[in-house]
Amino acid sequence: MAFELPPLPYAPDALAPHMSEQTLGFHYGKHHQTYVNNLNGFVEGTDLAGKSLEDVILAADPGPLFNNSAQVWNHTFFWSSMTPGGGGDPEGDLKTAIDESFGSVDTFKQTFADKAKTLFGSGWTWLVSTGSGLEIVQTKDADTPLKHGQSALVTIDVWEHAYYLDFQNARPAYVDTWLENLVNWEFAGQNLAKG
């Protein structure tokens, strides 16, 4: 069975004005769709056909198969890492875990923002659970915590196509806007609860 582009968890204009419908349309409808199409081409007729996306990622060596499968997973995760009316502060067990790992929510946010703003080139910044606490990790290009035995809680995409139409070269403004208005703490908390 072929991989399909999963539906967005909100309407294409639901993140405006913080992420425009145009940005989301290109990013989801063009970039993400291309990764899905490429992935299907790579697995067709191989022993990976019919495997789960996670199984394909874990089996893939560095190269085109890994890049496209991981980018399908990363982008699907990224859409859920945002929500209309997001931002604010985490609550409950997630807040407790952040306080324990980073000292405070404010320290976490500053560190996360700094990592996202300073990642050189294209990639992702993630909040992950390692089993012994929470960490902020940067991954380059298509790399994903899944490949490193880490449980992703939430991520921001810092490839230029994620923000260039709305923010041009001002990645710091995009990161700050994302943290203040879009991050989906409920999704992160659900991922923490899953372990």
CA-CA distance, 46 to 33, in Å (whole number)? Answer: 21
> Which long-range contacts link 115-122 to residues 24+ away (Cβ below 8 Å)?
116/156, 116/158, 116/171, 116/175, 116/178, 117/171, 117/172, 117/175, 119/158, 122/158, 122/159, 122/160
What residues have CB less than 8 Å from 117, skipping those under 6 apart?
Answer: 171, 172, 175
Q: Taking the model in full, what pTM does it have? A: 0.97
Segment 7-11 shows an average pLDDT of 97
Domain 21-80 sits in CATH at: 1.10.287.990
Domain map (residue ranges) of the chain = 21-80, 92-194
The backbone torsions φ and ψ at residue 104, rounded to the nearest 5 degrees and listed phi first, read: -165, 160
Where helices occur in the chain by DSSP H, the ranges are 21-26, 33-43, 53-59, 64-80, 92-102, 105-118, 164-167, 171-181, 185-194
Assigned token pair, 65: 């198969």
Segment 1-19 shows an average pLDDT of 96
Segment 98-108 shows an average pLDDT of 98
Segment 29-48 shows an average pLDDT of 97
Q: What is the pLDDT of residue 66?
A: 98
Please spell the DSSP secondary structure of 88-133, one letter per residue.
S---HHHHHHHHHHHSSHHHHHHHHHHHHHH--SSEEEEEEE-SSS
Assigned token pair, 14: 């639901």
- Residue 1 binned pLDDT confidence (cut-offs 50, 70, 90): confident
Domain 92-194 sits in CATH at: 3.55.40.20
Percent of the chain with pLDDT over 90: 98
